Amino acid sequence: MSEVDQAELKQVVKDAIKEVVAENRETLKDLLVEVLEDLALLQRMEEGRETELVDRDKVMDLLEPKR
């Protein structure tokens, strides 16, 4: 492939990506938010593996509404 062909192909790909982003902005935003939430959850899970275990009853007491 010649340099001209590569440059043209690169520009076509860039234009196609711009078009997809412009036409699907909300969908891409939702996808990005979901990915970031999943990454945050994964990070918290990894942190949890390094902490002390807590009794189930203590957790349930914290989750029950205060009266």
Location of structure tokens 């959850």: 41
> With bands split at pLDDT 50, 70 and 90, how would you rate the model's confidence at 4?
confident
pLDDT in tens, 50-60: 999 999 999 99
The pLDDT value recorded for residue 3 is 77
> How many whole angstroms separate alpha carbon 10 and alpha carbon 1?
12
Task: Supply the pTM of this predicted model.
Answer: 0.53
> How many whole angstroms separate alpha carbon 65 and alpha carbon 44?
24
DSSP category for residue 24 = T
> What is the residue range of 46's domain?
3-63
The pLDDT value recorded for residue 9 is 95
> How many whole angstroms separate alpha carbon 52 and alpha carbon 8?
57
- How many domains in the chain? 1
Amino acid of residue 15:
D
